[in-house]
Structure 1
Amino acid sequence: MNADLVQDGRAQAASQAGRGSALLTLNAGSSSIKFALYDVDGLQRRATGMVEAIGGAARFKAKDAERKWDDAIEAPAHVSALRAILEWLERDMAGVGIAAIGHRVVHGGMLFDQPALINDDVLEQLRTLVPLAPLHQPHNLAGIEAAREAFGNVPQVACFDTAFHRAHPFLNDCFALPRELFYQGVRRYGFHGLSYEYIAQYLRTHFPHHARGRVLVAHLGNGASMCAMRDGRSIASTMGFSALDGLPMGTRCGQLDPGVLLYLMQLGMDVKDISKMLYERSGLLGLSDGISNDMRVLLSSERPEASEAIAYFVSRVRREIGGLAATLEGLDAIVFTGGIGENAAPVRERVLAGMAWIGVEIDEARNRANETIISSGLSRVLALRVCTDEECMIARHTLRTAQLVVASQEAL
């Protein structure tokens, strides 16, 4: 670990007592680290930002209530990206002291159904899950390891995308495979749990009647999934054993006949080649014949391959709405969130077109204006557009977990 990074982090920890305390949330992806800074008292958000294009033309971006930063930086790896965040905290945020750090971790497996205080044992258990989420877990762990080195004894908490789905009924988690595989961990885990948990809490506050009912949430973005909730709890998810299953995504395939994989293996493709294809060359990118994995680019393109990729995406979302509504035995509300769900009005319109049979009627003007309620007054099912906030959930979990640790230490 770089000595300067460790020194910077220890300086942050040392400054904590004299300069006020804050929570730092880190969301490390394959080529970016998103972060947010919160006051410990009241969890008021101070600032947000990200280091993007790690390993390439990296940029540091951040903003608070009064200022914005957007600078090119040298960040060949995650550790150098974290160093840039540390330097910004010390230089531009008055050296705010960090009381605790929360990390988004994509996969918690069977072991973790709640946020966990990170120690050596927890980190080792999380490493065993890397094969289940190869696109995300290694970078989540790299962010944790770098932050542990940098911040010394500051409490750090892992918040899991799978935890929200751990109470599914057996039928919604199993595959029709030999049963012993289920007990070995070959089961549906579901992902985007931090996003779904935020939406569930948002509904309890703003739409309490619907929150107690049957709700479908569509988290549509570069990663995409849907979750069926009853009384704010996850009942079923489109994502399964890995983050490949269910809906097509930016570069991931979504639902796929396993016979296709057997056929590709017979043609001579090995595990590495197949994995790269399924995770990095499929989805919207593959269907559009390489035009883009970005829905905005596809919507603006006149090429038929772009239109066909969008049509496939929409058709799969519509198909999952029907299946999950059957699982819930009806529908009271549907919520769109995520980058596409929040911002792509044409996609929402196409998904909900002709859905009166299930009780949804869209208000086209509200939808185009990106209002919160996008269903018409005649719609039996409430349709919403809600901006998710995974960082907020990480901060809440981190504060609660850190407080429990302090309380247990004081009791000793």
Structure 2
Amino acid sequence: MTQDVVITFNAGSSSLRCGVFRLTGADPEPVGTFGIRGIPDRMVLTRRDMQAGTQDETTLPAPQSPERAHPEALGHMIERLDGIAGTYTIRAFAHRIVHGGADYAHPVRIDDDVMTHLKALEPLAPSHQPHNLRPIRRMRDHYPDVPQIACFDTAFHRTQPRLAQLFALPRALGDAGILRYGFHGLSYDYIAHRLERDYPDLARGRVIVAHLGHGVSLCALKDGQSIATTMGLTALDGMPMGQRCGTIDPGVVLHLIMDRGYSASEVRDMLYEESGLMGVSDISGEMNDLLASDDLHAAEAIDYFTYHFTRNVGALQATLGGVDAIVLTGGMGKYIPALRARLVDALAWMGIALDRDANAAGGPVLTTQDSRFPVLMLPTDEELILARGAAGILDKG
């Protein structure tokens, strides 16, 4: 007898992750993962069986061309999914969609109209949305009878007050959807639920969460809901990131196009792919590379990142009217204790102090007992939020 499962898809420009979640009637239970990293150049498949406690890696054949890398990666993933058919019955696919615009505040079942709407949002998330949509098309062709569910990074922030969403632009543009949407909502959703489960007093208070991955943003939570975030219409805004610029004077963009001869597409590529830590350091967009370097430009990029982290924390604290906790999450938050130390030390003005031993051990509490409030490191789990979203849709029938 097979077991019912949901398959989650988290597709990016250089990686593809699938989670297998058993539907138990309670919270979806993770039983395995498939992941391909190194797209398009050196594709490596990682397979993890959580029940057996095993993990293995396989180097995949080089793609026929860079343009074929993503379709071939999906082909490898389908082979593995077909291989579990004797053990599991796939009830739904749940897809992470970076941009849902103004119309999607909850997971939805994907049909042709939804796909048309999501494709129209590709210009607002050019580094993410096309990759998010590709597996949907492939899964709809290969598994035509299995529902496809979209879960949105923007949806969590739809609770923000109108003033937090507006730009100071002509009203007609705001009415047409030119608003601050915010991103990393699946991650923030997980952290909000984790706080509710493990730190209920904090969950009811004022919390700043920092999602520190290759993309970086901060979110102000009040009573578990988003009331402000650092990203805006696109995932370019806010904190400097690995290769994305973060907040920039719009006049710089106008100057580059009108006075320096850059085309709009050249500026777009610069802001998305050549800026951030990569741009400031001229070395790397990876924080570990910069921390390991003795180059002065690497040090300046780290200092720039830390400065803007502190500045954004201060702004969100003002929005909240105070702060009861800060949470660090995402890949850098989880795996780079040296960065955690720098960020907590930079917030000493708030009356907190780093517990060096706790930080080295990975927390979860990173600050000393006499700090005014705790700073926590809590790993996120976007795939679980995807599985919950799909399970909720299935429960509705």
Instruction: Report the TM-score when normalising by structure 2.
Output: 0.95
Summarize deviations over 1:260-282 as a string: whole Å, max 9, x none. Answer: 10110021101110011000011
How many correspondences in the alignment?
387
Kept after mapping to 1: 8 A contact 2:192/2:203: yes
Deviation for aligned residue 1:294: 1.1
| Counterpart in the other structure of 2:278 | 285
Where 1:353 maps in the other structure, the secondary structure is: helix
Is 2:343 the partner of 1:329?
no
Is 2:45 the partner of 1:53?
no
Is 2:255 the partner of 1:268?
no
Summarize deviations over 1:92-120 as a string: whole Å, max 9, x none. Answer: 67552211110000000011011110111
Distance 1:173 1:391 in 2: 27
Q: List gaps (5 residues or longer) in structure 2.
A: none
How is 1:168-207 mapped onto 2 (pairs within 5 angstroms)? 168-207=160-199
| Counterpart in the other structure of 1:44 | 29
Is 2:117 the partner of 1:134?
no
Is 2:359 the partner of 1:367?
yes
Question: How well do the aligned residues superpose, as a CA RMSD in angstroms?
Answer: 1.4
> Identity over aligned residues, as a percent?
44
Instruction: Report the TM-score when normalising by structure 1.
Output: 0.91
| Counterpart in the other structure of 1:28 | 11
Cα distance change, pair 94–294 in 1 and its aligned pair in 2 (3 A): farther
| Counterpart in the other structure of 1:12 | none
Deviation for aligned residue 1:48: 1.6
Where 1:374 maps in the other structure, the secondary structure is: coil
Q: Which amino acid aligns with 1:255?
A: T
Q: Which amino acid aligns with 1:247?
A: M
Is 2:58 the partner of 1:71?
yes
Deviation for aligned residue 1:359: 3.5
Distance 1:247 1:97 in 2: 42
Where 1:47 maps in the other structure, the secondary structure is: strand
Where 1:86 maps in the other structure, the secondary structure is: helix
| Counterpart in the other structure of 1:113 | 105
Summarize deviations over 1:121-158 as a string: whole Å, max 9, x none. Answer: 11111111011101100110111111111111101100
Summarize deviations over 1:297-349 as a string: whole Å, max 9, x none. Answer: 11111111111111101110010000000000000000000111112222222
Q: Which amino acid aligns with 2:229?
A: S
Distance 1:354 1:85 in 2: 43
Kept after mapping to 1: 8 A contact 2:306/2:346: no
Distance 1:343 1:307 in 2: 19
| Counterpart in the other structure of 1:101 | 93
Deviation for aligned residue 1:361: 2.4
Deviation for aligned residue 1:79: 2.8
Q: List gaps (5 residues or longer) in structure 1.
A: 1-17, 407-412
Residue number among 325, 335, 338 corresponding to 1:343 in the alignment: 335
Greater Cα shift, 48-57 or 251-260: 48-57
| Counterpart in the other structure of 2:392 | 400
